[in-house]
Amino acid sequence: MNFPRRTVLAALLAASLSPFATAADMKSVAVTAIVDHPALDAARKGVEDELKAAGFEAGKQIKYQYQSAQGNPATAAQIARKFIGDGPDVIVAIATPSAQAAVAGTRSIPVVFTAVTDPVAAKLVKSWKAGNGNVTGVSDMLKLSSQVDLISKVKPGAKRVGMVYSPGEVNSVIVAKELKAELAKRGMTLVEAPAARTVDVAPAAKSLIGKVDVIYTSTDNNVVSTYESLVGVAQQAKIPLVAADTDSVKRGATAALGQNYYDIGRQTGKLVVRILKGEKAAAIAPQVGEKLSLTLNQGAAQKQGVTLSPALLKEAKEIIK
Amino acid sequence: MTPIALMGALEIGLIFALVALGVLISFRILDFPDLTADGSFPLGGAVAATLIAGGHDPWLACGFGALAGAASGLVTAWLHVRLNILQLLASILVMIALYSINLRIMGAPNMPLIGSPTVFAPFIGEALENSWLVQPAVLAVIIVAAKIALDLFFASQTGLAMRATGANPRMARAQGVATERMVLSGMALSNALIALAGALYVQTQGGADVSMGVGTIVVGLAAVIIGETLLPSRKLWVITLATIIGALLYRLLIAVALNADFIGLQAQDLNLITALLVGGALVLPQLKAKLRRKGGKAS
């Protein structure tokens, strides 16, 4: 009865060791993401399109492979090892855990990260300057000065800005801290309303009524998951909502100057192309997504008691009625 | 598959062999369905990463990671034994509580260890050129040591009492075994091993992430089941060996799936392959029994 078991084992071993083949002269790019979701998929599509535009079409001019860890960090680690073993010309790592797994495993293969908010805090790179060994990439961090510009354009003369966020999310905590400093520079103040759970978001927003002229929301997971409850409060109290992501505008925020992940992918693709053409990753400084798109919601603006200026409307890439 | 990918599969397989040994203790030896693993694995990682980032010795960090895991297993067992909360529910409560606790320990959802000292670092060159060989080698030593220690423990008086507790608690009590204490210490041991795996994992993967526990229990169970299907035995040293082989094989199969362009499989099929694999391993013994019965009739 032991025979079939041995056959299975032998077959598995053979299958695991057989394909050693690699194309020698073709350049190769290996892309890995921690999970498939719309924003990360858009970033990947952007990388692929940029490569194609630069004359590196997958399967024709370059060997291209993509693997998703499907939310499982152990699989991300294994994918990183597979890629390092394959020895591609560039590894593109989408989101922090995938990037960390790749960077932990190699100091020779160039790693280009994307959709990572703070690569320095994640220790992917030592600094925002060039000279980070084999690692560079594009961050999706938002410049808060332009966010405050937008707040002032939506609600001219606004002095007090409210922010509902979850104290357990590191990105939100950082945004709140930096927003406070940025507002202080312009003689404005931040009124914080922490909401630890999604059910706390609406009460937290209500606590801001009468204390603020406008509410700003970051890409806080709690807030974004229950954006509608925030919109309800904003309409009742006639306080305009300014969001950090364009999707929230579709759900009822008045305005957002957000990053488009496809554009971040295109920008990342440009770095990949530079490396494929012979530049060293160390010579390229990590970048922040530079293309921001303004989305406005006129219906929401009206319900939240503001009129959007013609100048602002002209700037917008997309206007929702 | 390249040698680096193969060694990468072995490396993660070895780490999950520790998880599987922990799961073996709770599920098979104590007969305690325990989901604490999804929380205790990242707990071990969080404690170790925080200590290492704070400048402490990586081995010490591993020790404290394992201790924290033991404490979490103890809490799960205590909820069941003393407060009479259903086993599964008790472990789910501890698992979700650990998510918040892990966030507290790390102070952030992600704690990078890239460039920090690890238990592997002294053997690895500046350019990381030999990390793919060193890490699995060091892990293999740790796992073999853990296996031998476990085998010795389960052959001891206490170990036998623990096995009796899982096999037949009434009989064990009649023989004078303090079954409650056995459940408590067994669950502590189980989760200590799982947390130790987490502590080692963060040192191979460049950091701890609060999401890293997702699916730990599934992988651990899969390893146990694959192991006992391929190498069925009543001898405990064979069972622990089979569990380790199960964990290695599981990761090897994932590596095959990741490299399986040649049979048209893609990364997206990974979860399906996992389910088929575990399902297959579960059905295989029944099929074998059926075949044997048929064979018996024919002859």
Minimal C-alpha gap between A305 and chain B (Å): 37
Which of A35, A75, A124, A172 is the best substitution to test chain B (most B C-beta atoms within 10 A)? A75
Measure the CA–CA gap between B15 and B24, rounded to whole angstroms.
15
Q: Does B268 touch chain A (CB under 8 A)?
A: yes
pLDDT tens, B15-39? 999 999 999 999 999 999 999 999 9
Give the nearest partner residue to A5 out of B3, B211, B230, using CB atoms.
B230
Residues in chain A: 321
pLDDT tens, B224-268? 988 988 888 999 999 999 999 999 998 888 888 777 766 666 656
A:248-267 residues touching chain B, CB 8 A cutoff: none
Give the model's pLDDT for residue A59.
87
Q: Does B16 touch chain A (CB under 8 A)?
A: yes
pLDDT tens, B76-129? 999 999 999 999 999 999 999 999 899 899 988 888 998 899 999 988 888 788
Which of B2, B6, B228 is the best substitution to test chain A (most A C-beta atoms within 10 A)? B2
Which positions ≥6 away from B72 have C-beta within 8 Å? B36, B39, B40, B43, B94, B98, B191, B195
User: What letter represents residue A38's amino acid?
Assistant: P
Please indicate whether, in this complex, the C-beta atoms of B252 and A78 are within 8 angstroms of each other. Answer: no
The H or E element containing residue A257 is strand A255-259
Give the model's pLDDT for residue B261.
67
Between chain A and chain B, the number of residue pairs with CB atoms below 8 A apart is 155
DSSP string over chain B: --HHHHHHHHHHHHHHHHHHHHHIIIIIIS-----THHHHHHHHHHHHHHHHHTT--HHHHHHHHHHHHHHHHHHHHHHHHTT---HHHHHHHHHHHHHHHHHHHHSSSEEE-TTS--SSGGGS-TT-TTHHHHHHHHHHHHHHHHHHHHHHHHHSHHHHHHHHHHH-HHHHHHTT--HHHHHHHHHHHHHHHHHHHHHHHHHHTTEEEGGGGTTHHHHHHHHHHHHHHHS--S-HHHHHHHHHHHHHHHHHHHHHHHTGGGGT--GGGHHHHHHHHHHHHHHHHHHHHHHHHHHHHH-
Please indicate whether, in this complex, the C-beta atoms of A96 and B209 are within 8 angstroms of each other. Answer: yes
Give the nearest partner residue to B206 out of A86, A87, A104, using CB atoms.
A104
Give the nearest partner residue to A97 out of B201, B209, B288, using CB atoms.
B209
Q: Does B299 touch chain A (CB under 8 A)?
A: no
Interhelix angle for B3-23 vs B179-204, to 10°? Answer: 160
| Residues in chain A where the model's pLDDT stays below 50 | 1-3, 9, 12-24
A:46-65 residues touching chain B, CB 8 A cutoff: 65
Looking at chain B, which residue has its C-alpha nearest residue A83?
B5
Q: Is A187:A160 a contact under the CB 8 Å cutoff?
A: no
**Residue written as token pair 């990390």:** B131
pLDDT tens, A71-82? 788 889 999 999
Give the model's pLDDT for residue B266.
64
Please indicate whether, in this complex, the C-beta atoms of B114 and A16 are within 8 angstroms of each other. Answer: no
> What are A78's two structure tokens?
């294994």
Minimal C-alpha gap between B234 and chain A (Å): 17
Which positions ≥6 away from A177 have C-beta within 8 Å? none
Minimal C-alpha gap between B246 and chain A (Å): 12
Give the nearest partner residue to B128 out of A106, A122, A170, using CB atoms.
A106
Between the two ends of chain B, the Cα-to-Cα distance in Å is 44
Measure the CA–CA gap between A214 and A134, rounded to whole angstroms.
43
- Residue B56, CA distances (Å) to A48, B32, B52 in order: 43, 35, 5
Please indicate whether, in this complex, the C-beta atoms of B271 and A101 are within 8 angstroms of each other. Answer: no
Between the two ends of chain A, the Cα-to-Cα distance in Å is 72
Let me know the angle formed at the C-alpha of B114 by B111 and B115, rounded to the nearest 5 degrees: 130
Closest CA to A179 of A212, A204, A209, A148: A148
**Residue written as token pair 């730990």:** B216
CA atoms within 13 Å, Cβ hemisphere of B213:
28
Minimal C-alpha gap between B297 and chain A (Å): 16
- With 90 as the cut, is the pLDDT of residue B278 above it? no
Could you say which DSSP state residue A77 is in? H
Give the model's pLDDT for residue A15.
47
Please indicate whether, in this complex, the C-beta atoms of A81 and B254 are within 8 angstroms of each other. Answer: no
Could you say which DSSP state residue A25 is in? S
Q: Is A223:A215 a contact under the CB 8 Å cutoff?
A: no
Instruction: Collect all residues of chain A within an 8 Å Cβ-Cβ radius of residue B4.
Output: 81-82, 84-85
Give the model's pLDDT for residue B267.
59
Instruction: Collect all residues of chain A within an 8 Å Cβ-Cβ radius of residue B201.
Output: 74, 77
Highest averaged pLDDT of the listed ranges A96-105, B127-136, B286-295 = A96-105
Give the nearest partner residue to A74 out of B6, B12, B253, using CB atoms.
B12
B57 — pLDDT class (breaks 50, 70, 90): very high
Could you say which DSSP state residue A142 is in? P
- Residue A112, CA distances (Å) to A286, B203, B274 in order: 9, 22, 30
Measure the CA–CA gap between A259 and A256, rounded to whole angstroms.
9
Which residue has better confidence, A174 or B148?
B148
Quick one: what percent of chain A has pLDDT higher than 90?
A: 65
Looking at chain A, which residue has its C-alpha nearest residue B230?
A5
Please indicate whether, in this complex, the C-beta atoms of B209 and A9 are within 8 angstroms of each other. Answer: no
Give the nearest partner residue to A19 out of B113, B207, B262, using CB atoms.
B262
Give the model's pLDDT for residue B276.
81
Q: Does B133 touch chain A (CB under 8 A)?
A: no
Q: Is B198:B65 a contact under the CB 8 Å cutoff?
A: yes
